[in-house]
């Protein structure tokens, strides 16, 4: 019996080995804690292997799909990954997974990070590829991982060529973010001249890193956009100028820098205002955004009143529109107070259903139900159609029972 048991055990192991050889798959270990992660990296270093991280969640269809199983079960891919990478699966909903995805944000699952045991990430993939394309990506990243120490040495020696610069910038952006890569990007920009702007390989770099209005590349393009002679869908000038506008306005708001905001209006708006709004409207919108985001409500009221007073007609409608923008986009008390000032300015000029019903809602929100009811009845009298009449009725019915008469 003992001999029979030994024969069966050997046969079972043989079948398992044979099955693994016939149906190879990418082999993963599971990591749930920071301690597990440290042990995983130590093992990768000891084995001198690159690192492949798969980030999944139980609820994502892609993580349970047959496409994923087919990709990871490809013979050639599994052999290459298992030979050159130490692979790990991480649940994005676990404590460690949440920490990892804060560093490397993920918008689709499964997601894959190709990196080194030194915790440098070289590429990120969200979603699935064919096994051939995944193998190609894994091969390219393995070559990049192996050449990274030499890349760093060449950077220190200032002997990087164009392709190496772009590789280094891509790696830095993945690991340090856009802002963290800016110092390195500024060094690279010093190596560029006007002729380089027609090299399509650097267009993605320009659209991500050459956004500051102080940037020499931006100033060159702004001065004469014809330097980008081959503008295509890969490098749309109008989209680029919109990115410049958004980036610099965000910086101006963060620094509360009103001078930078005015420079944006003078230097960037003329480049991007090919949309439906006029340049003057964009300038007002820019100042309004800056002032509201920096909580300068007094300044907001000042420029908004000045703009409305310049209009020859429909002034009450302008006040209503700006008030509605504030109420729709901001929930704080100061925004509501500022919106009510604009509504009151409009009511001085004209008593419309829209202005009166907004005023009624604002009064109700702060508990002034008697006055709110009076405005509600006024709005009902001003109603020009059944929809407005029904809206006013619904408002009146929303007031406390004891207040209805």
pLDDT at 188 over 80: yes
Residue/partner pairs of 274-279 with CB below 8 Å, 24 or more apart: 274/238
CA pair distance 96, 32, nearest whole angstrom: 6
Q: CA angle at residue 173 from 169 to 175, to 5 degrees? A: 120
- Reported confidence tier of residue 23, pLDDT bands at 50, 70, 90: very low
Peptide bond into 327 cis (omega under 30): no
pLDDT tens digits for range 57-114:
999 999 999 999 999 999 999 999 999 999 999 999 998 999 999 888 888 999 999 9
pLDDT tens digits for range 218-238:
888 888 777 665 555 556 778
What share of the chain has pLDDT > 70, as a percent?
Answer: 90
Q: What share of the chain is helix, strand, coil (3-state, %, to 5)?
A: 70, 5, 25
pLDDT at 293 over 50: yes
Contact between residue 88 and residue 51 where contact means Cβ atoms under 8 Å apart? yes
pLDDT tens digits for range 355-371:
999 999 999 999 999 99
- Reported confidence tier of residue 189, pLDDT bands at 50, 70, 90: confident
Arithmetic mean of pLDDT, 206-225: 83
Assigned CATH topology for domain 2-153 = Glutaredoxin (3.40.30)
pLDDT tens digits for range 325-347:
999 999 889 999 999 999 999 99
pLDDT at 37 over 90: yes
- Reported confidence tier of residue 193, pLDDT bands at 50, 70, 90: confident
Tell me the three state secondary structure of residue 56: strand
Which residue, among 235, 300, 236, has the nearest Cα to 272 in the 3D structure? Answer: 236
Q: If residue 142 lies in a helix (H) or strand (E), which one and from where to where?
A: helix 131-156
Separation in Å, CA 332 to CA 249, 329, 397: 22, 10, 26
How does DSSP assign 168-218, residue by residue?
Answer: HHHHHHHHHHHHHHHHHHHHHHTT--GGGGG-GGGHHHHHHH--STT-HHH
Output the six-digit token pair for 69: 């199983």
pLDDT at 278 over 70: yes
Arithmetic mean of pLDDT, 12-28: 54
Task: Tell me which range, 9-23, 189-203, 293-307, is most confidently predicted by mean pLDDT.
Answer: 293-307
Question: Would you state the pLDDT for residue 79?
Answer: 94
pLDDT at 269 over 80: yes
pLDDT tens digits for range 158-171:
999 988 998 999 99
Arithmetic mean of pLDDT, 3-27: 48
Question: Would you state the pLDDT for residue 232?
Answer: 52
- Reported confidence tier of residue 316, pLDDT bands at 50, 70, 90: very high
Q: Which residue has the higher pLDDT, 3 or 324?
A: 324
Q: CA angle at residue 55 from 49 to 57, to 5 degrees? A: 150
> What is the overall mean pLDDT for the chain?
87
Place of tokens 């101006």: 252
Question: Within 10 Å of residue 328's Cβ, how many Cβ atoms?
Answer: 10
Return all residues near 30 (Cβ < 8 A) that are at least 6 apart.
36, 88, 89, 90
Assessment of whether the complete model's pTM goes beyond 0.75: no
Question: Would you state the pLDDT for residue 215?
Answer: 83
Rounded to the nearest angstrom, the gap between the alpha carbon of residue 83 and the centroid of all alpha carbons in its chain is 36
- Reported confidence tier of residue 379, pLDDT bands at 50, 70, 90: very high
Contact between residue 354 and residue 388 where contact means Cβ atoms under 8 Å apart? no
Separation in Å, CA 210 to CA 170, 199, 204, 288, 342: 14, 15, 10, 26, 39
Contact between residue 53 and residue 91 where contact means Cβ atoms under 8 Å apart? no
Q: Which residue has the higher pLDDT, 154 or 192?
A: 154
Arithmetic mean of pLDDT, 250-262: 94
Question: Would you state the pLDDT for residue 273?
Answer: 60
């Amino acid at each position: 019996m003992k001999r029979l048991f030994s024969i069966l055990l050997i046969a079972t192991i043989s079948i398992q080995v044979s099955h693994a050889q016939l149906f190879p798959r990418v082999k993963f270990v599971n990591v749930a804690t920071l301690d597990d992660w440290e042990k995983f990296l130590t093992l990768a270093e000891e084995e001198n292997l690159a690192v492949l991280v798969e980030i999944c969640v139980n609820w994502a269809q892609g993580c349970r799909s047959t496409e994923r199983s087919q990709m990871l079960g490809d013979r050639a891919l599994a052999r290459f990954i298992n030979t050159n990478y130490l692979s790990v699966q991480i649940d994005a909903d676990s404590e460690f997974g949440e920490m990892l995805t804060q560093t490397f944000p993920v918008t689709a699952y499964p997601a894959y990070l190709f990196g080194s045991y030194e915790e440098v990430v070289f590429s990120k993939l969200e979603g699935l590829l064919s096994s051939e394309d995944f193998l190609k990506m894994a091969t390219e990243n393995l070559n990049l991982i192996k050449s990274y120490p030499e890349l760093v040495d060449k950077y220190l020696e200032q002997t990087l060529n164009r392709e190496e610069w772009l590789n280094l910038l891509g790696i830095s952006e993945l690991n340090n973010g856009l802002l963290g890569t800016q110092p390195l990007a500024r060094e690279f920009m010093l190596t560029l001249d006007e002729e380089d702007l027609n090299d399509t390989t650097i267009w993605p770099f320009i659209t991500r890193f050459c956004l500051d209005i102080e940037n020499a590349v931006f100033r060159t393009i702004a001065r004469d956009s014809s330097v980008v002679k081959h503008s295509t869908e890969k490098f749309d000038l109008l989209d680029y100028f919109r990115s410049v506008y958004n980036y610099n306005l965000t910086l101006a708001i963060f620094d509360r820098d009103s001078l930078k905001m005015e420079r944006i209006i003078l230097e960037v708006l003329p480049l991007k205002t090919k949309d439906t709004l006029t340049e003057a409207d964009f300038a007002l919108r820019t100042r309004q955004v800056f002032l509201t985001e920096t909580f300068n409500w007094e300044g907001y009221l000042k420029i908004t009143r000045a703009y409305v007073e310049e209009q020859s007609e429909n002034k009450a409608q302008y006040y209503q529109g700006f008030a509605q923008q504030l109420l729709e986009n901001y929930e704080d008390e100061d925004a509501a107070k500022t919106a009510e000032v604009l509504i009151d300015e409009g009511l001085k000029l004209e008593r419309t259903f829209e202005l009166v019903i907004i005023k009624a809602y604002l009064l109700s929100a702060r508990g002034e139900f008697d006055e709110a009811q009076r405005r509600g009845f006024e709005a009902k009298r001003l109603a020009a159609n059944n929809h407005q009449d029904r809206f006013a009725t619904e408002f009146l019915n929303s007031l406390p029972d004891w207040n209805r008469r």
